[in-house]
Every structure is written in C-alpha cells, then in structure tokens.
Structure 1
Amino acid sequence: MKIDAEIKMEYKNSKDADISLKSLDIENKGYVESNKENNILTFKLESDSLSTFLATADDLIFSEILVEKIIESASSK
C-alpha cells in the first residue's frame, strides 16, 4: 500500500514561513518534500507503511509546533 499526503501550513507572513521552512528542512531532508509560496508551506509525504507515514507526519507537526512557539516568543520581545 502506498500512502500520499499533502499538508499545508499558513503563516502570518512570508518571513515566518521562511523561518519555519529553514528550521524544518533540516529534519525533513530525504523524508518530506517541501515548498513555499508566499506565506504558505506545502509538505508532501509518501510512504509504503502506515506506521512510517504516521511517524513522519507526527514528527513534522510536532516540529512545526515548536518552531511556531519560538517565532511567537521571539516576536513578543
């Protein structure tokens, strides 16, 4: 079985999207294809295993939550 998904994340502005993409790209190289258009990041995931797919999606979302918290923290100072 092959599993494909596309996850889109929309940011307040292009700068925040750039920060997030650069932060997440390190972890995702070779596992997740990423693309940025204006303030929207698109991540494409593929897997032959449901457990691998879910682990990859979970890692991506968890990492994005951390990046978002860091961006919010830095902008509030």
Structure 2
Amino acid sequence: MDIRDKQVLYEIKHKFGGSIYTISNANALRYQLSHKKGLMCLINVVNGLIRNPTRILQMNKLCVKYNINLLDTKPLTFNNG
C-alpha cells in the first residue's frame, strides 16, 4: 500500500495482528499476516465485500482452502457505496 495509507494498515494490524514492512526504493508498505486465527478473522470480515474480479478469485481460493463459504457481493446502492 502507499505510504499515505500507513494509519489504516496500523489499525488493521492492531485488530488482526501481523507485521508491517517498508518496501525499499518505494514509498510503500507491506502488510503480512501469517497466523491462522487472525487470517480466519480477516477473511470473515471482508467476505462478501470484495468487488474486483481478480481479488474475488483470490478470495475464493482462500475460502476453499479454509472451508469457508464465499459470500456474494451485495449490489451497490446510494447508501452503501
């Protein structure tokens, strides 16, 4: 993620655990979550909220691996967009 989103990454880290690393030669950060408890919690929180087709495929692979049902994305409306 861009360095400007640093605060968001630290909030995610505080809630789910993990580590944040600076990427050399770039104004970017990398978030890494490796323990299963935090990963399962994160998957359940974002399940059904992802809209990018590539990311949905990646989420599907995670859901299959951890035996979780992939939720359909709800349509965007004026109030939830």
Q: TM-score range by the shorter chain?
A: 0.3 to 0.5
Q: Which has the higher contact order (CA 8 A, sep 6+)?
A: 1
The structure that is helix-richer by fraction is 1
Larger radius of gyration: 2
